[in-house]
Amino acid sequence: MAVELSDTLIREARRDDLSALVALFAADALGGHGDTTDAEAFADYARAFAVIDASPDQTLYVAERGREIVGTFQTMLTTSLTGRGSSTMIIEAVQTRADMRGQGIGAGMIEFAVAEAKSRGVRLVQLTSNAIRKDAHRFYERLGFKPPHIGFKMALK
């Protein structure tokens, strides 16, 4: 599925987008995920892409302008017994290329994800954001997200 918003095309990621996506994550100084464009790490990204691509509950998207990848995000659907067995869409790995921020790309990606959630009858859309990303927090709140919970993580590797 692909949707054009203004001059930005949002579509499902393809295997040949992987190098551009890795570069996008590796350029993120705040993320702290250890992403790298080192050729030795590419197999790790390829394995992860294959898992995401094969999953019926996960979708990796790209935002494209002028045939260049300028943003990305991933959605995951999860169903729980809470909320009478309802589903939640988790938006993850939202990234806009640094030189393209402030141009509506991020808002377009989030609006796309929310519309996709609504079309699937999802009860809730949620995302997490690194505590140090204050600009991102203001951005998400401007789009209608609220921070009613505190999240916890435990690194295993």
Query: DSSP letters along 36-49, please?
Result: ---GGGHHHHHHHH
DSSP-derived 3-state class of residue 111: helix
Write the pLDDT tens digit of every residue in 51-102. Answer: 999 999 999 999 999 899 999 999 999 999 998 999 999 999 999 998 998 8
Pick from 54, 59, 60: which is nearest to 25 by CA? 60
- Which amino acid is residue 119, in one-letter code? S
Q: Looking at residue 4, what is its pLDDT?
A: 59
Q: Enumerate the domain spans of the chain.
A: 2-142
- Which amino acid is residue 80, in one-letter code? S
Where does 30-104 have alpha helices with state H?
42-54, 82-85
Quick one: fold of 2-142? Aminopeptidase (3.40.630)
Q: Looking at residue 49, what is its pLDDT?
A: 97
Pick from 64, 13, 22: which is nearest to 42 by CA? 22
C-alpha span between 68 and 9 (Å, rounded): 10
Q: Record the tokens describing residue 57, joined without a space.
A: 């509950």
Provide the pLDDT confidence category of residue 151 given band limits of 50, 70 and 90: confident
Pairing of strands 87-96, 2-5: unpaired
Half-sphere exposure of 41 (CA within 13 A, CB side): 12
Pick from 67, 55, 79, 81: which is nearest to 9 by CA? 67
Whole-model pTM over 0.85:
yes
Write the pLDDT tens digit of every residue in 7-41. Answer: 899 999 999 999 999 999 999 877 667 888 899 99
